Amino acid sequence: MNINDFINFIQITEQSKGIFGHYPFCMVVENKKNELEFICLTGLDSVTFCYDIFIRWLIDRPNKIFLSIDFPKILNAKNDFVLIHHYENEKFNFLSIPYCNKTGERFPIEKNEIYLDITSNQFKKYLAYTLKKIRIHKL
C-alpha cells in the first residue's frame, strides 16, 4: 500500500441527515513481514487515543503506518478536513483532505495550510512527550 492507495481508501460519508464526515477513523499498518493490518478506530474519546494506538504500533518499527483523523474547520480554514498521518522510512508526512461537510465533496489535497501545520505539530509534540514517558517508565 502507498499513500495514494490509502487516500483512495478514505471515505467521506453522510454521518447524519445533511452532515458529512470521515468516521470511523482508519489506520493501516504494514508490518516488517510486509503484511497489512487494517484497524478501525471507533468509540475513542479523543484524538490522543488515536495517537496512543499509532504510537503502540510505531514502537514495533513497522514498514509503514497510515492514519486518518477527521477535524472540523479551525482557525481560518474554509472546510473540515481529514488529516493523513503517514510514517515510512522513519519519517513522518502529513496531508490534509479538505471536504464540504454539507455535501461530502472532496477538495484538492493540501500540504501547507496553517491548520495542517498546527495539527501535525500537535501530533509531533504528543509523540515526543509519550516516547519520553515510555523511556522513563522502562528505566
Is cis: bond before 62, omega within 30 of 0? Answer: no
CA dihedral 68, 62, 41, 100 (to 10 degrees): 10
Q: From first to last of its 139 residues, what are the pLDDT tens digits of the chain?
A: 999 999 998 888 888 888 999 888 899 999 999 999 999 888 777 888 889 999 999 988 999 999 999 988 877 778 898 989 999 998 988 888 999 999 999 998 876 566 667 777 788 888 888 877 666 544 3
Instruction: Tell me the pTM.
Output: 0.84
Region class of 90: left (phi > 0), else alpha (psi between -120 and 50), else beta: left
Let me know if 133 is exposed, middle or buried by CB neighbors in 10 A (0-12, 13-18, 19+): exposed
